[in-house]
A = this chain, B = another copy of it.
Amino acid sequence: MSARNILLLSSSRLHGYGYLEHARAQLEDLFKSKNVKTVLFVPYAGRNHDKYTETVRSALQPWGYAVEGLHNKVDKAQALRDAQAIFVGGGNTFVLLRTLYELNLVEPIRELVLERGLPYVGSSAGTNVATRSIHTTNDMPVAYPPSFEALALVPFNINPHYLETDANTNHKGETRDERIEEFVAYHKRPVLGLRESNFLRIQGDRATLLGTRAAKLFKADGAAEEYAPQADLSFLLQQ
């Protein structure tokens, strides 16, 4: 059994809430279960690492958690080994993954999370890189990473910020569903469309959908199915 202790957010922001505020209960559940006092933040999906770390600190500090930035650590592998929990923030998925490869952090993070149970929280791009590949990011490919293969903390793909595109538009660019179906057609692999109000909680070999709305699973065979909050999605881990 895997030591996984993971919380994947679709988005760090939800309409009507402050930064991370909609995720507070889920974050605190995870942090308290492991007696986490300090969170190591991974800011590489963003442009200004100091400012981004400050944003996260402003959200978590009032709840009682200290926040440090991985970019400020000289020995990053050691900092990860010492960490009580890591939070990988959103921004640009391509920039994030390229930086993780450049800093040789892909394997260390993967090992710490899968084998030593390091608590991992990801949001948006931080959720994309937690999956098997970044093939299903919504981001513009502004940077070229050495691979689209990612941390593979889970063996399927997620599309964060998932939403159905307005079918009444006159616009001819692909809808979100068409984009995801294009991935499924090429790869024959499932994609979980995670709406902005939703989370995926993974504990060992158990995966549970959390949040207030349904999630849409695009299945490997081309069909799709909606799952309600609290649904057991553990079958997605068995691949």
Contact = CB atoms under 8 A, between A and B. Distances in A.
Nearest to A134: B141
A171 B161 contact: yes
A144 B147 contact: yes
A187 B142 contact: yes
A225 B52 CA distance: 29
B141 A182 contact: no
B139 A135 contact: no
Contact of A173 (B135, B161, B180): B161
Nearest to A146: B144
Contacts of A15: 170-172
B161 A172 contact: yes
A65 interface: no
Contacts of A11: 172-173
Interface in A92-130: 92, 94-95
A231 interface: no
A140 B47 contact: no
A14 B172 CA distance: 7
Contacts of A14: 172
Nearest to A16: B170
A156 interface: no
26 contacts: A11-B173, A15-B170, A15-B171, A15-B172, A16-B170, A47-B185, A47-B186, A92-B182, A94-B141, A134-B141, A135-B142, A137-B140, A137-B141, A138-B174, A139-B179, A139-B182, A140-B174, A140-B179, A140-B180, A142-B182, A142-B187, A144-B147, A144-B148, A161-B172, A163-B173, A172-B196
Q: Which 3 A-B pairs have the closest CB atoms?
A: A161-B173, A15-B170, A140-B179
Interface of A: 11, 13-16, 47, 92, 94-95, 134-144, 147-148, 160-161, 163, 170-174, 179-180, 182-183, 185-187, 196
